[in-house]
Amino acid sequence: MLRIRSASPSRLEASGEWNLTFRGCPHIKVAAVASGSCWVTADDGAPLRMEAGDCYMLSAGIPYRIASDLEAPLLDGNDLFTCATTSTVHVGDRPDDAHRTVLIGGMVIVEETTAALLLDSLPPVTRIGASTHPAHVLHPTLQLLADETAVALPGRTAMSEHLTEILFLQVLRSHLADHEGEDPQSLGWLGALSDPQIGTALALMHREPGRRWTVAALAASAAMSRSAFALRFKTLVGLSPLDYLLQWRIRAAEQALKVTHRSVASIAAEWGYESESAFSNAFKRVTGHRPTHYRGMVDS
Protein backbone atom coordinates (compact mmCIF):
# COMPACT_ATOMS: atom_id res chain seq x y z
CA MET A 1 0.00 0.00 0.00
CA LEU A 2 2.91 2.38 0.64
CA ARG A 3 4.10 2.04 -2.99
CA ILE A 4 7.71 2.79 -2.28
CA ARG A 5 10.73 3.02 -4.52
CA SER A 6 14.33 3.81 -3.76
CA ALA A 7 16.83 6.09 -5.41
CA SER A 8 20.44 7.20 -5.25
CA PRO A 9 22.10 4.28 -3.43
CA SER A 10 25.40 5.59 -2.09
CA ARG A 11 28.51 4.61 -0.14
CA LEU A 12 30.57 6.69 2.27
CA GLU A 13 34.13 5.65 3.13
CA ALA A 14 35.61 7.80 5.89
CA SER A 15 38.88 7.70 7.80
CA GLY A 16 40.53 9.76 10.50
CA GLU A 17 38.49 12.45 12.24
CA TRP A 18 35.45 13.67 10.32
CA ASN A 19 32.13 15.39 10.96
CA LEU A 20 29.51 15.76 8.22
CA THR A 21 26.37 17.85 8.46
CA PHE A 22 23.33 17.38 6.19
CA ARG A 23 20.42 19.75 5.64
CA GLY A 24 18.01 16.83 5.49
CA CYS A 25 16.79 14.71 2.63
CA PRO A 26 13.32 15.32 1.12
CA HIS A 27 12.77 11.57 1.34
CA ILE A 28 13.32 8.88 3.98
CA LYS A 29 16.96 7.88 4.34
CA VAL A 30 18.00 4.35 5.29
CA ALA A 31 21.59 3.30 5.89
CA ALA A 32 23.78 0.69 7.52
CA VAL A 33 27.28 0.62 8.97
CA ALA A 34 29.19 -1.94 6.90
CA SER A 35 32.38 -1.46 8.91
CA GLY A 36 33.82 0.85 11.53
CA SER A 37 31.64 3.08 13.70
CA CYS A 38 30.23 6.60 13.88
CA TRP A 39 27.85 8.94 15.65
CA VAL A 40 24.47 9.88 14.17
CA THR A 41 22.65 12.94 15.46
CA ALA A 42 19.19 13.74 14.07
CA ASP A 43 17.35 17.03 14.50
CA ASP A 44 19.62 18.19 17.36
CA GLY A 45 18.70 15.10 19.39
CA ALA A 46 21.06 13.00 21.48
CA PRO A 47 23.91 11.41 19.46
CA LEU A 48 23.46 7.69 18.75
CA ARG A 49 26.52 5.45 18.56
CA MET A 50 26.46 3.23 15.48
CA GLU A 51 28.69 0.18 15.22
CA ALA A 52 29.36 -2.27 12.36
CA GLY A 53 26.14 -4.11 11.53
CA ASP A 54 23.84 -1.40 12.88
CA CYS A 55 21.12 0.01 10.61
CA TYR A 56 19.21 3.26 10.90
CA MET A 57 16.43 5.26 9.27
CA LEU A 58 16.11 9.05 9.15
CA SER A 59 12.72 10.65 8.57
CA ALA A 60 12.30 12.98 5.60
CA GLY A 61 13.34 16.60 6.03
CA ILE A 62 15.29 15.99 9.24
CA PRO A 63 18.69 17.74 9.44
CA TYR A 64 21.34 15.37 10.76
CA ARG A 65 25.05 14.82 11.38
CA ILE A 66 27.28 11.79 10.90
CA ALA A 67 30.69 11.89 12.54
CA SER A 68 33.61 9.94 13.89
CA ASP A 69 34.29 12.87 16.25
CA LEU A 70 31.50 15.27 17.15
CA GLU A 71 34.11 17.97 17.91
CA ALA A 72 35.83 17.73 14.52
CA PRO A 73 35.40 20.63 12.05
CA LEU A 74 32.08 20.46 10.22
CA LEU A 75 31.95 19.64 6.51
CA ASP A 76 28.87 20.07 4.31
CA GLY A 77 27.79 16.52 3.49
CA ASN A 78 25.24 17.63 0.91
CA ASP A 79 27.95 19.37 -1.11
CA LEU A 80 30.25 16.35 -0.90
CA PHE A 81 27.63 13.99 -2.33
CA THR A 82 26.38 16.51 -4.91
CA CYS A 83 29.89 17.06 -6.27
CA ALA A 84 30.86 13.36 -6.23
CA THR A 85 31.48 11.83 -9.66
CA THR A 86 30.69 8.31 -8.42
CA SER A 87 28.25 6.81 -5.92
CA THR A 88 31.13 6.42 -3.43
CA VAL A 89 32.25 9.45 -1.42
CA HIS A 90 35.62 9.44 0.35
CA VAL A 91 36.29 11.54 3.45
CA GLY A 92 39.57 11.78 5.34
CA ASP A 93 43.22 11.50 4.42
CA ARG A 94 43.62 7.73 4.92
CA PRO A 95 41.44 6.06 2.24
CA ASP A 96 43.28 2.72 2.63
CA ASP A 97 42.86 2.63 6.40
CA ALA A 98 41.69 -0.87 7.38
CA HIS A 99 39.75 0.70 10.27
CA ARG A 100 37.85 3.21 8.12
CA THR A 101 34.09 3.57 8.49
CA VAL A 102 31.93 2.46 5.57
CA LEU A 103 28.27 3.50 5.41
CA ILE A 104 25.88 2.25 2.72
CA GLY A 105 22.30 3.22 2.02
CA GLY A 106 19.97 5.37 0.00
CA MET A 107 16.73 7.32 -0.20
CA VAL A 108 13.27 5.76 -0.05
CA ILE A 109 10.56 7.61 -1.93
CA VAL A 110 6.98 7.04 -0.78
CA GLU A 111 4.03 7.75 -3.05
CA GLU A 112 2.39 11.06 -2.21
CA THR A 113 -0.91 9.41 -1.21
CA THR A 114 0.65 7.85 1.87
CA ALA A 115 3.79 9.94 2.39
CA ALA A 116 2.33 12.44 4.86
CA LEU A 117 0.53 9.72 6.82
CA LEU A 118 3.70 7.65 7.15
CA LEU A 119 6.11 10.51 7.86
CA ASP A 120 3.92 11.84 10.65
CA SER A 121 4.25 8.40 12.28
CA LEU A 122 8.04 8.13 12.21
CA PRO A 123 10.54 9.37 14.81
CA PRO A 124 13.46 11.50 13.53
CA VAL A 125 15.80 8.48 13.69
CA THR A 126 15.19 4.75 14.13
CA ARG A 127 18.04 2.36 14.94
CA ILE A 128 18.36 -1.42 14.60
CA GLY A 129 21.23 -2.70 16.73
CA ALA A 130 23.56 -5.27 15.16
CA SER A 131 22.83 -7.79 17.94
CA THR A 132 19.06 -7.81 17.40
CA HIS A 133 17.10 -10.43 15.48
CA PRO A 134 16.08 -8.01 12.67
CA ALA A 135 19.75 -7.16 12.14
CA HIS A 136 20.66 -10.84 11.89
CA VAL A 137 17.89 -11.32 9.32
CA LEU A 138 19.27 -8.37 7.37
CA HIS A 139 22.89 -9.52 7.39
CA PRO A 140 22.79 -11.17 3.91
CA THR A 141 21.03 -8.09 2.49
CA LEU A 142 23.64 -5.77 3.97
CA GLN A 143 26.46 -7.88 2.58
CA LEU A 144 24.88 -7.77 -0.87
CA LEU A 145 24.34 -4.02 -0.63
CA ALA A 146 27.96 -3.51 0.45
CA ASP A 147 29.17 -5.58 -2.50
CA GLU A 148 26.92 -3.78 -4.99
CA THR A 149 28.03 -0.32 -3.89
CA ALA A 150 31.71 -1.28 -3.86
CA VAL A 151 32.09 -2.37 -7.50
CA ALA A 152 30.43 -1.10 -10.68
CA LEU A 153 28.84 -4.32 -11.96
CA PRO A 154 26.08 -4.60 -14.60
CA GLY A 155 22.68 -3.99 -13.02
CA ARG A 156 24.27 -2.38 -9.98
CA THR A 157 21.74 0.45 -9.69
CA ALA A 158 18.69 -1.82 -9.91
CA MET A 159 20.12 -4.28 -7.39
CA SER A 160 21.10 -1.54 -4.94
CA GLU A 161 17.69 0.12 -5.15
CA HIS A 162 15.79 -3.10 -4.44
CA LEU A 163 18.12 -3.96 -1.55
CA THR A 164 17.57 -0.47 -0.10
CA GLU A 165 13.80 -1.07 -0.19
CA ILE A 166 14.28 -4.35 1.70
CA LEU A 167 16.41 -2.54 4.28
CA PHE A 168 13.72 0.11 4.72
CA LEU A 169 10.91 -2.42 5.20
CA GLN A 170 12.92 -4.34 7.77
CA VAL A 171 13.68 -1.16 9.72
CA LEU A 172 9.96 -0.34 9.63
CA ARG A 173 9.12 -3.82 10.93
CA SER A 174 11.64 -3.40 13.72
CA HIS A 175 10.16 -0.03 14.66
CA LEU A 176 6.70 -1.61 15.00
CA ALA A 177 8.07 -4.60 16.93
CA ASP A 178 9.84 -2.27 19.40
CA HIS A 179 6.46 -0.73 20.25
CA GLU A 180 4.47 -3.96 20.33
CA GLY A 181 2.12 -4.00 23.31
CA GLU A 182 2.15 -0.20 23.64
CA ASP A 183 -0.81 2.05 22.95
CA PRO A 184 -1.17 2.15 19.13
CA GLN A 185 -1.89 5.88 19.44
CA SER A 186 1.82 6.46 20.06
CA LEU A 187 2.54 5.22 16.52
CA GLY A 188 -0.06 7.35 14.74
CA TRP A 189 -1.13 5.97 11.36
CA LEU A 190 1.27 3.02 11.62
CA GLY A 191 -0.29 2.13 14.95
CA ALA A 192 -3.76 2.34 13.41
CA LEU A 193 -2.70 -0.03 10.63
CA SER A 194 -1.41 -2.56 13.14
CA ASP A 195 -4.51 -2.31 15.37
CA PRO A 196 -6.61 -5.48 14.79
CA GLN A 197 -9.92 -3.61 14.55
CA ILE A 198 -9.08 -0.23 13.05
CA GLY A 199 -6.48 -1.85 10.79
CA THR A 200 -9.20 -4.09 9.35
CA ALA A 201 -11.37 -1.08 8.49
CA LEU A 202 -8.41 0.80 6.96
CA ALA A 203 -7.52 -2.21 4.81
CA LEU A 204 -11.09 -2.35 3.48
CA MET A 205 -11.08 1.36 2.62
CA HIS A 206 -7.73 1.05 0.87
CA ARG A 207 -8.86 -2.07 -1.01
CA GLU A 208 -12.27 -0.71 -2.08
CA PRO A 209 -12.04 3.09 -1.99
CA GLY A 210 -14.87 3.56 -4.49
CA ARG A 211 -17.41 1.67 -2.39
CA ARG A 212 -20.14 3.67 -0.64
CA TRP A 213 -18.82 3.15 2.85
CA THR A 214 -20.76 4.18 5.92
CA VAL A 215 -19.46 4.40 9.47
CA ALA A 216 -21.91 1.65 10.42
CA ALA A 217 -20.55 -0.71 7.73
CA LEU A 218 -16.95 -0.03 8.72
CA ALA A 219 -17.77 -0.51 12.39
CA ALA A 220 -19.41 -3.85 11.57
CA SER A 221 -16.28 -4.97 9.71
CA ALA A 222 -14.28 -4.23 12.86
CA ALA A 223 -16.85 -5.96 15.10
CA MET A 224 -17.40 -2.75 17.06
CA SER A 225 -20.32 -0.53 17.85
CA ARG A 226 -20.65 2.53 15.63
CA SER A 227 -19.83 5.01 18.40
CA ALA A 228 -16.88 3.04 19.81
CA PHE A 229 -15.46 2.55 16.33
CA ALA A 230 -15.76 6.22 15.39
CA LEU A 231 -14.05 7.31 18.62
CA ARG A 232 -11.20 4.81 18.39
CA PHE A 233 -10.66 5.53 14.69
CA LYS A 234 -10.32 9.27 15.28
CA THR A 235 -8.09 8.71 18.31
CA LEU A 236 -5.63 6.57 16.33
CA VAL A 237 -5.82 8.13 12.86
CA GLY A 238 -6.55 11.75 13.75
CA LEU A 239 -9.53 11.98 11.38
CA SER A 240 -13.07 10.63 11.39
CA PRO A 241 -13.57 7.50 9.22
CA LEU A 242 -15.34 9.34 6.39
CA ASP A 243 -12.93 12.29 6.48
CA TYR A 244 -10.06 9.83 6.17
CA LEU A 245 -11.79 8.10 3.27
CA LEU A 246 -12.27 11.46 1.55
CA GLN A 247 -8.60 12.36 1.98
CA TRP A 248 -7.50 8.94 0.73
CA ARG A 249 -9.73 9.10 -2.35
CA ILE A 250 -8.74 12.62 -3.33
CA ARG A 251 -4.99 12.17 -2.81
CA ALA A 252 -5.02 8.93 -4.78
CA ALA A 253 -7.09 10.59 -7.52
CA GLU A 254 -4.63 13.50 -7.54
CA GLN A 255 -1.79 11.08 -8.19
CA ALA A 256 -3.73 9.47 -11.06
CA LEU A 257 -4.35 12.90 -12.60
CA LYS A 258 -0.65 13.73 -12.39
CA VAL A 259 0.72 10.56 -13.98
CA THR A 260 -1.93 9.36 -16.45
CA HIS A 261 -3.91 10.67 -19.41
CA ARG A 262 -7.22 9.34 -18.07
CA SER A 263 -10.26 11.61 -18.15
CA VAL A 264 -11.46 13.34 -15.00
CA ALA A 265 -14.80 11.53 -15.37
CA SER A 266 -13.20 8.06 -15.39
CA ILE A 267 -11.08 8.85 -12.33
CA ALA A 268 -14.12 10.28 -10.53
CA ALA A 269 -16.07 7.07 -11.19
CA GLU A 270 -13.20 4.87 -9.98
CA TRP A 271 -13.10 6.68 -6.66
CA GLY A 272 -16.82 6.44 -5.99
CA TYR A 273 -18.25 9.70 -7.34
CA GLU A 274 -21.47 9.59 -9.37
CA SER A 275 -20.72 12.78 -11.26
CA GLU A 276 -17.71 14.73 -12.38
CA SER A 277 -19.05 17.88 -10.71
CA ALA A 278 -19.39 16.15 -7.32
CA PHE A 279 -15.83 14.89 -7.66
CA SER A 280 -14.54 18.33 -8.70
CA ASN A 281 -16.20 20.00 -5.70
CA ALA A 282 -14.75 17.45 -3.27
CA PHE A 283 -11.36 17.66 -4.95
CA LYS A 284 -11.24 21.44 -4.58
CA ARG A 285 -12.26 21.26 -0.91
CA VAL A 286 -9.30 18.98 -0.16
CA THR A 287 -6.58 20.33 -2.47
CA GLY A 288 -7.68 23.91 -3.15
CA HIS A 289 -7.62 23.22 -6.90
CA ARG A 290 -9.89 21.82 -9.59
CA PRO A 291 -8.86 18.41 -11.01
CA THR A 292 -7.93 20.05 -14.32
CA HIS A 293 -5.13 21.90 -12.47
CA TYR A 294 -3.07 18.69 -12.61
CA ARG A 295 -3.77 17.71 -16.20
CA GLY A 296 -0.63 19.30 -17.61
CA MET A 297 1.70 17.56 -15.14
CA VAL A 298 1.53 14.21 -16.92
CA ASP A 299 3.55 15.57 -19.82
CA SER A 300 6.04 17.58 -17.77
pTM above 0.75, yes or no: no
Where does the chain hold its CATH 2.60.120.280 domain(s)?
4-178
Segment among 70-84, 88-102, 114-128, 171-185 with least mean pLDDT: 171-185
Between helix 276-287 and helix 241-259 the angle, nearest 10°, is 100
Of 27-31, 88-92, 144-148, 201-205, give the range with the top mean pLDDT: 201-205
Residue with the larger pLDDT of the pair 263 and 255:
263
Per-residue pLDDT of 42-92, as tens digits, reads 988 899 999 998 988 888 888 999 999 999 999 999 999 888 777 788 898
Q: Name the band, by pLDDT with cuts 50, 70 and 90, for residue 192.
A: confident
Where does the chain hold its CATH 1.10.10.60 domain(s)?
243-299
Q: What's the rounded Cα separation, in Å, for the pair 88 and 101?
A: 13
Of 90-104, 188-202, 227-241, give the range with the top mean pLDDT: 227-241
CATH 1.10.10.60 fits 243-299, yes or no: yes
With pLDDT > 90 as the criterion, what percentage of the chain qualifies? Answer: 32
Per-residue pLDDT of 223-255, as tens digits, reads 999 999 999 999 888 889 999 999 888 888 888
Q: What's the rounded Cα separation, in Å, for the pair 291 and 254?
A: 7
Tell me the three-class secondary structure of the chain, residue by residue.
Answer: CCCEEEEEEEEEEECCCCEEEECCCCCEEEEEEEECEEEEEECCCCCEEEECCCEEEECCCCCEEEECCCCCCCEEHHHHHHHCCCCEEEECCCCCCCCCEEEEEEEEEECHHHHHHHHCCCCCEEEECCCCHHHHHHHHHHHHHHHHHHCCCCCHHHHHHHHHHHHHHHHHHHHHHHCCCCCHHHHHHHHHHHCHHHHHHHHHHHHCCCCCCCHHHHHHHCCCCHHHHHHHHHHHHCCCHHHHHHHHHHHHHHHHHHHCCCCHHHHHHHCCCCCHHHHHHHHHHHHCCCHHHHHHHHHC
Distance separating the N- and C-terminal Cα atoms of the chain = 26
Residue with the larger pLDDT of the pair 174 and 116:
174
- Classify domain 4-178 by CATH number: 2.60.120.280
